[in-house]
Amino acid sequence: MTNRTAFITGASRGIGRACALELAKVGNKVVLAARNREKLEEVATEIRDANGEAFVVEIDLASSDSIKEAFAKASKDFATIDILVNNAGVTKDNLALRMKKEDWDIVLQTNLTGAFLCTQQVLQGMMKARWGRIVNISSVVGEMGNAGQANYVASKAGLIGLTKALALEMASRNITVNAVCPGFIETDMTSVLSEELKQTLMGRIPLKRLGSGQDIAAAVRFLASDDASYITGTVVDVNGGMYM
């Protein structure tokens, strides 16, 4: 059991929620951050009911002011953030030919710039403590590409590059930075896919199933632990073999 504090963005549902529950389960205090306070409170209640400690902050990853404010609120209750999970993400899919600049901007701003700005908020505290874990949730499409998602793919590929650069910068301070690349996971984001498209996807996944939030959370829990102290700058693929 640890007694560290983890800050998870996009913690109100899907992968972020699963990560928050998992990190709380092994004894971390968790700061749940997302735009939807009501949903965050539901997750917080679930954690508290299991005797965990949870704190809720609203955050809009597209706004640098909102990011600063959220971390300032969290640091009033917790002196340092030991673990950061950059998970929040949005999609605005379209073919590149038709993609509006604002749809490009909002996805890059939220998924990549937002993650960078969150990371900046925790680095000093981690450097002072000489211990830190940063886990960036990228995506299988950031490695293999996907038609109709130039903005999303670019943001997720960017996260992988950011992971490697930060891992090099932070290694001497005992701060590890890694990325997890989920494949197709059963979340609200994938629930809108047609049955036909799901079957087509299954054909591309050797394990013949969509992943669960729990599959991702298990990888995050490991990377955020002391057991993963010699792993940094790495991309962990959790995709059922869809991309190797």
Is the per-residue pLDDT at 172 higher than 90? Answer: yes
Q: Write the CATH number for 30.
A: 3.40.50.720
The pLDDT of 22-26, averaged and rounded, is 97
In a domain, 187, yes or no: yes
Residue with tokens 């300032």: 72
Is the per-residue pLDDT at 1 higher than 70? Answer: no
In a domain, 49, yes or no: yes
In a domain, 41, yes or no: yes
Higher-confidence position of 78 and 60: 60
Q: Which of 229, 202, 218 lies closest to 23 in space, CA to CA?
A: 218
In a domain, 244, yes or no: no
In a domain, 243, yes or no: no
The pLDDT of 145-160, averaged and rounded, is 97
Is the per-residue pLDDT at 110 higher than 70? Answer: yes
What pTM was estimated for this model as a whole? 0.96
- Residue 129 belongs to what domain range? 5-237
Residue with tokens 């984001």: 189
Torsion, Cα of 93, 21, 81, 16 (10° steps): 0
Banded model confidence at residue 189, pLDDT cuts 50, 70, 90: low
The pLDDT of 5-19, averaged and rounded, is 97
Total number of domains in the chain: 1
230 is catalytic: no
Q: Return the number of other C-beta atoms located less than 10 Å from residue 29's C-beta.
A: 22
**Residue tagged active-site, from 55, 71, 152, 184:** 152
User: Could you tell me if 139 and 90 are in contact, meaning their C-beta atoms sit under 8 angstroms apart?
Assistant: no
In a domain, 242, yes or no: no
Q: Which of 119, 206, 195, 189 lies closest to 149 in space, CA to CA?
A: 189
